Amino acid sequence: MVHISRPVDGPTPTPTSRRLFLALAGALAAAPLLDARRASAATAAKSLDDPAKKEIAMKLVSSAENSSLDWKAQYQYIEDIGDGRGYTAGIIGFCSGTHDMLDLVQLYSDRKPGNVLAKYLPALREVDGTDSHSGLDPNYPKDWRKAAQDTAFQQAQNDERDRVYFNPAVRQGKTDGLRVLGQFAYYDAIVMHGDGTDPTSFRNIRKRALTKARPPAQGGDEATYLNAFLDARVWAMKQEEAHSDTSRVDTAQRVFLRNGNLDLDPPLDWKVYGDSYHIG
């Protein structure tokens, strides 16, 4: 028989004390893994598609597009703002002259045939690419506001906003290694300029910025790159009289950048067109 000696100066370990010891050891071993998971979760949350950040983005865009933080009140918004794009309407400024309004009404009609806007689809196809109201006046604005009371139309607006503008902007921002502010700068640019092939489109604004600085994913400094992107954005805005007021960049996005608030963490204070806004 093998004799196992025990220390003479300490108590004999009990089954209970052994279990406590093993539990403590297990907890200590798991701590680094838990910390890593928490860090990963925190990093994942630092994106514009985090619900709280997305809500901030909607309010920021609404302050510039509608002079209000109440972006959900804009489902019913519609007017011709004289920018050559026909009617501008809804939560993201869908335009009868730039195809996105046609796509939106088509989606709504696919989901809910016979809705109040479906009868305007032929006219929307005709005026696409122009500033004409032919076939839309006089009742299209009234019917748009009526449709905006329908949750199905509201959801269609949300879905088209995400498909055409929000998701591509966030995806490109992540690819470039940008945090929340950079992703928002992309989103705001694609909302205003679209992502076509013309020199002032989002993709060409980005290309212009890339001639001046590299994004983090390419080894560049994030703040330096964002300043280059915002410079390119201001240039694009000044090419068009309707967008020549650059305060949505100068007294909003650049303010956050100067403050080093790359994650758009509240409180946020900014101005657009001279009006002050706050998110607490």
| Residues taking part in catalysis | 65, 83
The CA distances from residue 203 to 52, 117, 123, 209, 231, in Å, are: 27, 32, 30, 10, 14
Angstrom distance (rounded) from CA 157 to CA 6: 75
DSSP string, 24-42: HHHHHHHHHHHHHHHHHHH
Do 104 and 90 contact (CB within 8 A), yes or no? Answer: yes
Kindly compute the dihedral angle of the four CA atoms of residues 143, 154, 185, 202, in this order, to the nearest 10 degrees. Answer: -60
Do 278 and 258 contact (CB within 8 A), yes or no? Answer: no
Give which of 173, 52, 164 is closest to 100, Cα–Cα: 164
Angstrom distance (rounded) from CA 108 to CA 103: 9
Angstrom distance (rounded) from CA 42 to CA 64: 29
